[in-house]
Amino acid sequence: MLLVGNGKLITRDPDFSFIPDGCVAIRGTDVSMVGTTSEIRAKYPDSEFIDAKDGLIMPGFINSHMHFYSTFSRGMTPPGEPAKDFSEVLERLWWKLDKALFLKDTYYSAMTALVDCIKCGCTTVIDHHASPSFVQGSLFEIAKATKEAGIRASLCYEVSDRDGQKTAYAGIKENISFIDWAEAQNDSMISAKFGLHASFTLSDLTLGRCVEEMGGRNAGYHVHVAEGPNDEKDSIQKYGKRIAERFNDFGITGGKSIFVHCIHINKKEREILRETGTAVVHNPESNMGNAVGSADIREMVKEGILVGLGTDGYVCDMLQSYRIGNALCKHSSGDPNAGWTELPLMLFENNITIAERCFPVKIGRIKEGYAADIIIMDYMPPTEMNEKNINGHLLFGASGRNVVTTIANGKVLMKDKKLTELDRNQIYAKARESSKEVWKRL
Ligand SMILES: [Zn+2]
């Protein structure tokens, strides 16, 4: 038994949300008991005890949309003229970077991001990968990295026509082999989806092939939808319908599927998403950085669409995404009252639902029977903290840098800011070496 106590315990259990001097007992991979520190220590006097030193004890964060490989863009100057719009950002930056990745770069870029995830307290990640020059085996390289890091991950490969039919088909094959492998593993730490880039880089022929190869598998799809305005224009021009209608006609919508961004969708498309139970993932910092507009998350939430929160590879710090999402919601709606309820709902509730659709385990709450994904944050509230204002304290007073201890599936991955399983210096040294070669190939 491992105990984590002597902290302000935020459980995200609606019946029992805050214990000022709380403690969690972990048996193996799961939470076995939640209570006050004195109560739990009295019950298990000989167990190992991690002292939260009056900081916050809370569930590890979930990132519902990530690109591990994007970490290799840090500090990079893309060749040629700077991008004028989002299409050029893709062509001049991301599609050059992903094409330059060898398998070892896929592995090291993932490891770099995973170190960051542990440091920021993010214990579950839903990733979307592309490496068109080395498609085959790429998801297995990432799975090797997530297993070594001890982070729970859902992986997929983004199928696209942008590199020709052969590469598109290699992507389909990689998704299917990985879905079947992950299914056979029956491991609560790894799962798979079928990855698709976006409507404007997927012909009807390719989409049809994806759906056909998917057969009866129930993994769901993970796809970018209406990120830039041209995606919708392209769909209307080529297929005479909007993206959500097109994807729905192919059977790509549904409770297991994740539609990322959904900035330029209309009411009819929102209805399709709601009716099919398709999840949407909002990535505020990325949307602002790419200048593609702002998704109407208020309307989507009001209509009952499941909207979660991701970082789109910008960062691994979910509290940064939370803070920027809050500001963007207010800024774009012109309403200083917007976002107060939507952002906590997205990060602390809907991301749990989205993740639970991916993994055969209960995650995201500190409650008996849930996976022990638990973090400690060094945070001293300068004003009163209670069960009603937790989210306000986190919004204005904390970031991933406050995380001192990270536990995933009962395993301690970082204690008092020191990684216990990974050698950061060695990983970063390898990543610098590897990324230098990648940059030369751009
Ligand atoms: Zn993305």
Taking the mean position of all CA atoms in its chain, how far away is CA 195? Answer: 14
Query: Measured in angstroms, how far is the CA atom of residue 176 from the centroid of ligand 1?
Result: 20
Query: Measured in angstroms, how far is the CA atom of residue 57 from the centroid of ligand 1?
Result: 30
Query: Measured in angstroms, how far is the CA atom of residue 65 from the centroid of ligand 1?
Result: 6
Angle at 408 between CA 407 and CA 409, to 5 degrees: 125
Percent of the chain with pLDDT strictly greater than 90: 98
Q: What is the pLDDT of residue 362?
A: 97
Q: Give tens-digit pLDDT for 395-416.
A: 999 999 999 999 999 999 999 9
Q: How confident is the model at residue 339 (pLDDT cuts 50, 70, 90)?
A: very high
Q: What is the pLDDT of residue 303?
A: 98
Q: Give tens-digit pLDDT for 159-189.
A: 999 999 999 999 999 999 999 999 999 999 9
Query: Stretch 325-347: mean pLDDT, rounded?
Result: 97
Query: Stretch 53-66: mean pLDDT, rounded?
Result: 98
Query: Measured in angstroms, how far is the CA atom of residue 293 from the centroid of ligand 1?
Result: 15
Query: Stretch 147-152: mean pLDDT, rounded?
Result: 98
- Strands 2-10 and 18-27 turn out to be antiparallel
pTM of the model: 0.98
| Euclidean distance between CA atoms 167 and 58, whole angstroms | 42
Query: Measured in angstroms, how far is the CA atom of residue 208 from the centroid of ligand 1?
Result: 22
Query: Measured in angstroms, how far is the CA atom of residue 173 from the centroid of ligand 1?
Result: 21
Question: Which residue is listed with tokens 């989806």?
Answer: 193
Side chain identity, residue 97: L
3-state secondary structure at position 58: strand
Query: Measured in angstroms, how far is the CA atom of residue 329 from the centroid of ligand 1?
Result: 19
For residue 62, what are its two tokens? Answer: 């979930």
Q: How confident is the model at residue 379 (pLDDT cuts 50, 70, 90)?
A: very high
| Euclidean distance between CA atoms 122 and 414, whole angstroms | 12
Mean pLDDT of the chain: 97
- Strands 258-261 and 279-282 turn out to be parallel
Q: What is the pLDDT of residue 312?
A: 97
Q: Give tens-digit pLDDT for 252-277.
A: 999 999 999 999 999 999 999 999 99
Query: Measured in angstroms, how far is the CA atom of residue 119 from the centroid of ligand 1?
Result: 22
The domains located in the chain, with CATH, are 2-60+365-419 (2.30.40.10), 61-356 (3.20.20.140)
Query: Measured in angstroms, how far is the CA atom of residue 165 from the centroid of ligand 1?
Result: 22
Query: Measured in angstroms, how far is the CA atom of residue 113 from the centroid of ligand 1?
Result: 15
Q: How confident is the model at residue 361 (pLDDT cuts 50, 70, 90)?
A: very high
Q: Produce one character per residue of 86-102: b if its CB has 16 or more CB atoms within 10 Å, e if not.
A: beebbebbbbbbbbbbb
Query: Measured in angstroms, how far is the CA atom of residue 93 from the centroid of ligand 1?
Result: 13
Q: What is the pLDDT of residue 432?
A: 97
Q: What is the pLDDT of residue 149?
A: 98
Q: What is the pLDDT of residue 117?
A: 98
For residue 65, what are its two tokens? Answer: 């949309």
